Amino acid sequence: MKKYSNCYHIGPFEQFSRKVYTTEEGLPSNQATALCFDKKGNLFVGTDKGLSKFENGKFIDVDTGSDDAVNVIYCAQNGHVFAGAGSRLVEFNGKRRLKAKEFSSKIVDMKIDGDETWWILTETHLYRKCKNSEDFDLKIGVPGDGTKLAVLRDNKVYVGTAGSGLHALTGKRWHWSELMEDMTGLLSNCVTCVDFDKAGYVWVGTDKGVCVYDDKSYWLDSKNTYGLPDANITAMATDNEGNRYFATTTGLIYQHNGILSYYGYKRWIPDPCATDVAVSDDGRTICVATKNGLSIISKQVMTLEEKAAYFREMAEKYNIRKDGYCLGRDLDHKGVVDENEGYVGVSDNDGLWTGIYLAGLCYEYAVTKNKETLELARRSLKALIKLTTITGKDGFTARALRYKDERNFGEYLTSDEWHLVQNGEIEWLGETSSDEMTGHFFAYAIYYDLCADEKEKAEIAVVVKKIMDHIIENNFHLVDVDGKPTTWANWDPKDLNDNHKWIYEKGTNSLEILSFLKVAKHMTGDEKYDEVFDSLVRDHHYGMNIMQYRIPDGHLLHIDDQLGFLSIMTLLSHTDDPAVRSIATMGLTHHFSDERIEHNAIFDIIYGAVTGEKCDVDVIAEELVDFPLDLLSWEVYNSHRTDLEWDHRPEELGMVPQLYVPLQPHERRLCNCDGNRFVCDCGCEDLFKQASGDDSARMIMYPSVSCSKGMNLEVGNMFLLPYWMGRYYGIIE
């Protein structure tokens, strides 16, 4: 195939990553209440058990002189840090306590304005201390319970309250001008945070969202302005470039370039309810306090190649089993990734997943010519071949195998299909499916063309010939060692064309067998495979079957989407016949037009590589850039959001609704190409029940799927394969 005509350049980008801290990591209490970075970039954390300084990866207690919870932390321009512990304001220089002052009630906020005037807000009063003054010269009562404070200069002050609205300090004889929900554009009388921006606008966070006030009579909110959050806001912070971070009761919202990005439970923060947020002066570190620990989110500048190297290193370190099988790692403790803990599991499709990983290695080697990469690919190639040789039946391939010294050996979950060999040292799993064969042929073909030496080509050709002959001799089935055809490995024309029980598999399975035959002919040179190919096309209209091989299903079944794209890639990579390419690309274009909305980088790359047509390279770039570094299968909670568009068509089949458009990679569940990206939540049933209460109608609408909840480390195939394939075909650089 020709290289893609237009190459998309992707330069360095900001990559987010996060680390969670709880009492297990030294945090004094999981109930984090206040945050602040000092001028040196050190983080101060307030909890219900006092004040701590995060230094060199450790939390160090800072003595406030009392056991009160710390509700406020503020850093002045001179670097001094102030902490509000109960009704006491304590001043520190580093960790050294300088002095403390007692106020009438619990301190809730502190600010120093542009005139260097100090303002202290308690639950009941506002206090002022002017520049060079020894003591506070103003004490004025606050209507309602004070919550937050915003100051500018020239005594311009706003105070938020817990239920009495927003109040502005005005007049020669100072008094409060009351801005209430019913009389102004204020969203709610429950004001949780308030701040001035550099234009002098007032940003007000409430339990009903964010509104912006021009300090006179003009208000904006999410109902009339795109890019303002509609959520229960608990705190907000702004970096030096004007990017804003909003802590909410359902996660963190990041506003940048007018875009709202959601960093929620549990991939990003340890509890749905964020209580505070702080950003370092350089904007590289964001800290989020929650009711169940602390999350430190870091920004680093990366290239896609550096990101690929990271995922490769992770896979090789944590996801490789004996022989070179590459699969998810089951953990012993939630979120703990360690070589000495957990184990690489066995799946129903070891050959498919290892084949996809192997394909990524092949493309990487083709681009970089790195000999170490070639050796890794060679190792996993041998692992694939072993799945065929281990069964003792020519051409019949195992789904998986496991050694006696590996975890769960002998625990036959499907006992009839596990078989012991080599004096009980190895067990292998039968009932092999079309998924397995698709993965094997996909990987064999790519390794053969891009990596194999002459000896390896001969070895691969022997294995492929045995598999192909087995399928043909058994009337286009895989026949297990018990003499019975397996359930799903069926390419028989009588079933695909004449049995309506196979109507949904008809096109995809027709495509699979045609691709297998072309690979077998390519490797062995045996004309009989072309003869069988021609017979299936001519006598059984398999060519017509693949003109529209994928039946649209409302984006509910994604296994066949994966099989279709891998098979069409294999077929079109090994035929120059214009007639075959014409009918095959008809099927591919139809499939891609339906799947385009999925924003799947692998599907996009394959479409562009084999057709040369536009393949949404901007979407590919966005997917690769935004794909999270954290490969743990965390819970995801998004259904609280009001910006989502729901697809109710699944209800016609008795299924729950899903989204019309998948969320961004960092917002959605982690899944492979055979997983549903349109799912909104996973593993958060309890949270949804809390949010919906007794509303059974909403519970019926709950679009959740299960997940391992931080107990499984996935492989980065969803990044590695499209990245290196895109590099090889010149689609991205």
Sheet with 219-220: list strands edge to edge: 191-196, 202-206, 209-213, 219-220
More confident residue, 220 or 657: 220
Q: What percent of the chain has pLDDT over 70?
A: 96
218 near 211, Cβ under 8 Å? no
Q: Which residues pair with 285 in a beta bridge?
A: 298
pLDDT at 657: 87
CA distance 42 to 477: 65
Q: Work out the average pLDDT over 706-727.
A: 94
178 close to 187: Cβ distance less than 8 angstroms: no
Structure tokens at 435: 């998924």
pLDDT at 414 over 70: no
Q: Of the candidates 664, 662, 682, which has an alpha carbon nearest to the alpha carbon of residue 16? A: 664
Mean pLDDT in residue range 112-121: 94
How many CA atoms are closer than 13 Å to the CA of 89, on its beta-carbon side?
22
Q: Tell me the pLDDT band of 649, cut-offs 50, 70 and 90.
A: confident
The C-alpha atoms of residue 388 and residue 394 are separated, in whole angstroms, by 8
For residue 706, give Cα distances in angstroms to 139, 332, 337, 637: 55, 19, 21, 12
Burial of 457 (0-12, 13-18, 19+ CB in 10 A): middle
pLDDT digits (tens, 9 = 90+) for 493-525: 999 999 999 999 999 999 999 999 999 999 999
Residue 597's pLDDT band (boundaries 50, 70, 90)?
very high
pLDDT band, residue 2 (cuts 50/70/90)? low
In this structure, what DSSP letter does residue 568 have?
H
| Lowest-pLDDT choice from 207-216, 436-445, 492-501, 552-561 | 552-561
Residue 3's pLDDT band (cuts 50, 70, 90): low
Q: Residue 171 — φ and ψ, nearest 5°?
A: 90, 155
Alpha carbon distance 514, 710 (integer Å): 40
Distance from C-alpha of 270 to C-alpha of 479, rounded to nearest angstrom:
49
* Residues 229-274: tens digit of each pLDDT: 999 999 999 999 999 999 999 999 999 999 999 999 999 999 999 9
Q: Can you give the pLDDT at residue 691?
A: 63
Q: What is the mean pLDDT of the chain?
A: 94
Which top CATH class is 305-632+713-728?
A: mainly alpha
Q: What whole-number distance in Å separates Cα of residue 189 and Cα of residue 187? A: 7
Angle, alpha carbons 706-710-715 (nearest 5°): 95
Report how far residue 305's alpha carbon sits from residue 542's, in angstroms, rounded to the nearest whole number: 40
Q: Using one digit for the tens of pLDDT, what is the confidence trace for 685-716?
A: 777 666 655 554 444 444 456 688 999 999 99
Domain parsing of the chain, residue ranges: 305-632+713-728, 646-707
pLDDT of residue 458: 98
